[in-house]
A and B are shown apart, each in its own frame.
Chain A
Amino acid sequence: MNKRINWGRTLLIAIPFIWLLVLFLLPFMSVFKMSLSDMATARPPYVPVYDSETGLAGLWQLITELDFENYVWLTEDDLYWRSYLSSLKIALISTFFTLLIGFPIAYGMAKTPSQWRATLVMLIILPFWTSFLIRVYAWIGILKQEGLLNNFLLYLGVIDQPLIILNTDLAVYIGIVYSYLPFMVLPLYAALEKLDYTLLEAALDLGCSKIKTFWVIIVPLVMPGIYAGCFLVFIPALGEFVIPDLLGGSSTLMIGKTLWGEFFNNRDWPVSSAVAVILLLLLVVPIMLFQKMQERELKGQS
């Protein structure tokens, strides 16, 4: 608009922009660079290390020493392949179950008399404010072999042998569904609350059955909420570490856990970086879809 430079505006944009460039984007570059390096028994535990005194020549030297060895390694050891696939499977199945459990809750909330709704929303958000770690921890006591669930079922006489749930994939599913349920319920509720319920009456009036009304009226209209909820569960679940680590067993493979293991247990920074790069590539498409959706949502409000 104006040819003059608006310094206030420039500064306003520059400060958060530079912060994110340096502390969000640049770190990804260093992950990528690290993934091309080799492990070494040193401090820091990788080579090559750039020494600023060697100048440009040193930089060129460094670049020549980078290679894709770690990526080749990832394809050779099937641990990584299986981790990726198993993460995908676990994330997909848990997202599906979160939707299945979340929808009736969101629907029930939207149908609650309006003076109660704010309280219900608060009750959904409240667990989100309390520590994630603590909520996962709570399930250990419930699910373990001599835990509360088994004690209860044995007491009722439903089972005579304790169920083995903790340290299995089932425990991971339960953990993810439990932890991410608020992320599914809130966008669904937001969409369902906006729904014009006279549309349902109109459909019923025009001879649509109740079940069909659900599929042809409600579901299409709340689709944006369904998408948002699924993204919010699927994307973070894919890279989840705490839940598979605490609830899953040694056979539960998830990529976040594998990465953590490579980094903290094997101290193999280059390989864990390569794992991270691949995980990021898997996530690029859903994250971009999510961003598009968020921006559209924001525009829709204004």
Chain B
Amino acid sequence: MNVNRFSWFNITSLTLGFAFLYIPILLLIVFSFNESKLVTVWGGFSTKWYTSLLQNDGFMDAAWMTLKVAVVSATIATVLGTMAALVMIRGGLFRGRTLFSGMIYAPLVMPEVITGLSLLLLFVAVGWDRGFWTITVAHITFSMCYVAVVVSSRLVTFDQSLEEAALDLGCNKVSAFFQITLPIIAPSIVAAWLLAFTLSLDDLVIASFTSGPGATTLPMKIYSQVRLGLSPEINALSTILIVIVSCGVIVASLLTKRSALKKSQYEQQANASA
């Protein structure tokens, strides 16, 4: 008996598992093209909900706000998170190291209600008007930790002799980082930025706590709509978001695949030239 065989058990569990993951999303997409206002009863094909969505200023404003928050917070979080990753992997020992790494890992699993509430109380205590910037700062704080984790897992496997070689050839530490380390770990930094970006796009709870009047993000808008009942417009909006994100992820993975392909071509070339 061969234990390595790709058995029926495995095929079944994979099929059922992926069906469980994807059927709800597919149904959501299908019913966004439903003619009927009843979300769960098929009434024929239509794209009218997309049209009405695009004419809904409330959604459009919220989408614009969300996008601004996400771009700004992801960018700053990437810088801070990369620094934090460097501190964790290269920082060596310093006073407060345990506290530091605690503050990096804790937000990853901290219930959002607590993070949101605590940041709100801070903003109130210092008298900071809530709005775009409070949401952005809150998002930076928790997504920089995700960035730190992603980047540090790349830094761990980074061959430090590359940096030493740069020092040896006359670079100082800062220019060695920018000329050697940064270009090499760039893919993981891009991935971290994308992660921070989608975390910010996605966040309902923290934004609800830290936003003020006039600053409504898309998830907040969706949530208040959903509480009132199902709406085909939400299906349409969801479909747009899912398509955009899926395209992004698929393009990214194709790029990764291409670079892997290039790498294997390189290897063939290397063997041939040996």
List the interface of chain A (C-beta within 8 A of B). 8-9, 12-13, 15-17, 19-21, 23-28, 30-31, 34, 44, 50, 101-102, 104-105, 107-109, 111-113, 118-120, 122-127, 129-135, 137-142, 144, 146-148, 151, 178, 181-182, 185, 197, 200-201, 204, 231-232, 235-236, 238-242, 246, 256, 259-260, 263-264, 269, 272-273, 276, 279-280, 283, 286-288, 290-291, 294-295, 298, 301-302
Q: CA A127 – CA B18 in complex, angstroms?
A: 11
List the interface of chain B (C-beta within 8 A of A). 1, 3-4, 6-7, 9-11, 13-14, 17-18, 20-22, 24-25, 27-28, 31, 39-41, 80-81, 83-84, 86-89, 91, 94, 96, 100-107, 109-115, 117-119, 121-122, 124-125, 137-138, 140-141, 144, 148-149, 152-153, 156-157, 173-174, 198, 201-202, 204-205, 208-209, 219, 222-223, 226-227, 230, 234, 238, 241-242, 245-246, 248-250, 253, 256-257
Given contacts A127-B21, A138-B24, contact A19 B80 (CB under 8 A): yes
* 20 A-B interface contacts by CB (under 8 A): A13-B87, A17-B96, A17-B100, A19-B80, A19-B140, A20-B84, A27-B118, A105-B14, A123-B22, A127-B21, A127-B22, A130-B242, A138-B27, A204-B1, A264-B208, A276-B117, A286-B109, A287-B110, A290-B105, A295-B105
Q: What residues of A have a CB within 8 angstroms of the CB of B18 in the complex?
A: 105, 123
Q: Contact between A15 and B83 (Cβ–Cβ < 8 Å)?
A: yes
Q: Contact between B14 and A137 (Cβ–Cβ < 8 Å)?
A: no
Q: CA A166 – CA B87 in complex, angstroms?
A: 47
Q: What residues of B have a CB within 8 angstroms of the CB of A197 in the complex?
A: 3-4
Total cross-chain contacts (CB, 8 A): 262
Q: What residues of A have a CB within 8 angstroms of the CB of B81 in the complex?
A: 16
Given contacts A104-B17, A236-B111, contact A201 B249 (CB under 8 A): no
Q: What residues of A have a CB within 8 angstroms of the CB of B83 in the complex?
A: 12, 15-16
Q: What residues of B have a CB within 8 angstroms of the CB of A28 in the complex?
A: 118
Pick from A34, A107, A148, A232: contact of B109, CB below 8 A: A232
Q: What residues of A have a CB within 8 angstroms of the CB of B205 in the complex?
A: 241-242, 260
Q: Contact between A19 and B141 (Cβ–Cβ < 8 Å)?
A: yes
Q: CA A166 – CA B224 in complex, angstroms?
A: 18
Pick from A101, A131, A232, A276: contact of B113, CB below 8 A: A276
- Shortest Cβ gap from A209 to chain B (Å): 11
Chain A residue with minimal CB distance to B152? A298
